[in-house]
Amino acid sequence: MTIDSSSLASLSNSRSIALDKVPLLALGDFQKTILGSVKAGRRVSALFGAPAADEGNTPLYAVLADDEENKLYVLRTIVSGERFPSLTPDCPQVHLFEREIAEQFGLVPEGHPWLKPVRYRHSWTNLDAWNRPPGEPILPAVGDFYKVDGDEVHEVAVGPVHAGVIEPGHFRFQCNGEKVFHLEIALGYQHRGVEEAMIGGPTSRSIHFAETLAGDTTIAHCTAYCQILEALAHCQKPPRAQVLRAISLELERLANHVGDLGALANDVGYLPTASYCGRIRGDFLNMTALLCGSRFGRGMVRPGGVAFDADEKLVEELLKRLGDAERDTFGAVNLLWETPSVMARFEGIGILPHEVAIELGIVGPAARASGVARDVRQDQPSGLFRFAHIPMSTCDAGDVLSRAFIRRLEIQHSIEFIREQLHQIPSGPVKAPVTPLAPKSLAVALSEGWRGEVCHVALTDERGRFSRYKVVDPSFHNWTALAYVLRGQEISDFPLCNKSFNLSYCGHDL
């Protein structure tokens, strides 16, 4: 199907557009455009509802990403009434977006194959897609689960309280002996209502909401938030700030990737890498702390630039620590590839086929491990990444080994990138003033967090305040992939598969 390009407004990452320039399509055309775009190789970065100006007419917005042409497309429609035909049967990657719309705005996507709440919350409107009484509390993970019948089938429920110190989530397996037929994941325990709290912003609290969307992705989320403000204020951030932002983003990736490789080693009982990587992760976190005083990068990225400058002495210290950490990292990580018993555990486990990754709209290292070349730093570059490139790493097998290998490659690339940038930080200020936001506009900001694409979309009202703030964490796309790869796997390999994705619960629950 060809797409009438007049029905789409194109913009690039971290740019804003006046709301009236966003084409308003009839519901049918809106859906046809999404379907056609996905068939043509684009993907759905965000699909969400917004509070209705007049009751009963809920606007829906979609952000489509074209990774080939490095463009983003936005479009909108208005749903009158309480239901709309579901796109999920023809376009599986919107399944969770439609469930979210059903939960937040009470609109029923008719024909959705598995219409369940996403976070188990009351809707923002008077409507409720499941006709639940308004006063009654809604408990997470209480409700229907997919069930397999049979004498030899048994059900294993894990969580929400886990044996390790991790976030809460409920996993339900349908098993035959050791073999898993189906895994269903129910989340929502970590819902804090960030999207609701952002409405009416930006206030002095908004940036802290953005920073704590997912604790281990502080820089990526905060960068996306700041890019939204900068786009809406048409603010040009100084080059020095862009470099420092990119460096802290890559440091965040390094700390998490190293930690993940250690955790993977730990899950197969391989001690040396597990212990060393735990320590080296701390070294990278401490480098972030050296920059801004917080190991997780809190307070580093601020609207208009960054809050902390790096003087020459600090840069030198960073370079020295980077060299040490690089040596230690590869010493520890290469052990994995030199130990046959570890490779035997990683290889062929939890395979996510290429076509499935595309169909489910998977992002980040998980997608790249299945041969899907998707990386915001290359496809939708913003900030420093428009001028300095990090090679994209892909792998074909889509198994745990590939996801580990992608991390190893990205560690290498990120270290090289940081070293290169530290040698050539441009001089100048690190912050530019941010003017009030443009009224009645829409802005989209993407950044490549260590888990994948972080997408923020903001709509402003006539006073330049957020009337809707949409956040899509990479985990929102990728949890489905984890459930998928467990099919036909041994249940004892679940922790390993889980760790190879290492998704965020609070990033999903918002």
Residues that bind another protein (CB under 8 A): 154-158, 163-164, 177-178, 265, 267-272, 274-276, 279, 339, 341-342, 344-345, 349, 490-495
Report how far residue 73's alpha carbon sits from residue 87's, in angstroms, rounded to the nearest whole number: 18
Find where tokens 């989320």 sit. 221
Q: Which two tokens stand for residue 75?
A: 């479009």
Report how far residue 53's alpha carbon sits from residue 55's, in angstroms, rounded to the nearest whole number: 7
Report how far residue 56's alpha carbon sits from residue 485's, in angstroms, rounded to the nearest whole number: 40
Please identify, using beta-carbon distances, which residue of 150 and 164 lies nearer to another protein: 164
Phi/psi of residue 111, each to 5°?
90, 5
Element (H, E) at 334: helix 312-338
Please identify, using beta-carbon distances, which residue of 276 and 284 lies nearer to another protein: 276
Q: Which of 33, 55, 54 is nearest to 44 (CA)?
A: 33
The nearest distance, CB 179 to another protein, in angstroms, is 10
Prior bond to 160 cis, omega within 30? yes
The nearest distance, CB 173 to another protein, in angstroms, is 8
Please identify, using beta-carbon distances, which residue of 180 and 246 lies nearer to another protein: 180
The nearest distance, CB 267 to another protein, in angstroms, is 7
Please identify, using beta-carbon distances, which residue of 69 and 178 lies nearer to another protein: 178
Question: Using only C-alpha atoms, what is the Rg of the chain?
Answer: 22
Phi/psi of residue 301, each to 5°?
-90, 130
Please identify, using beta-carbon distances, which residue of 342 and 358 lies nearer to another protein: 342
Please identify, using beta-carbon distances, which residue of 178 and 420 lies nearer to another protein: 178
Please identify, using beta-carbon distances, which residue of 112 and 172 lies nearer to another protein: 172
Q: Is the CB of residue 446 less than 8 Å from the CB of residue 45?
A: yes
Per DSSP bridges, beta strands 153-158 and 43-49 are unpaired
Please identify, using beta-carbon distances, which residue of 176 and 203 lies nearer to another protein: 176
Please identify, using beta-carbon distances, which residue of 13 and 489 lies nearer to another protein: 489
Q: At what angle do helices 474-485 and 95-105 cross, to 10 degrees?
A: 120
The nearest distance, CB 492 to another protein, in angstroms, is 4
The letter for the amino acid at 178 is: E
Per DSSP bridges, beta strands 9-11 and 71-80 are antiparallel
The nearest distance, CB 154 to another protein, in angstroms, is 6
The nearest distance, CB 178 to another protein, in angstroms, is 6
The nearest distance, CB 482 to another protein, in angstroms, is 14
DSSP secondary structure letters along 324-391:
HHHHHHHHHHHHHHH-HHHHHHHTTSS---HHHHHHTT--HHHHHHTT----HHHHS--GGGGTS---
The nearest distance, CB 401 to another protein, in angstroms, is 13
Q: How far is CA 457 from CA 51, 123, 210, 394, in A?
A: 14, 20, 12, 28
The nearest distance, CB 500 to another protein, in angstroms, is 14
Report how far residue 273's alpha carbon sits from residue 334's, in angstroms, rounded to the nearest whole number: 9
At residue 484, the 3 state secondary structure works out as helix
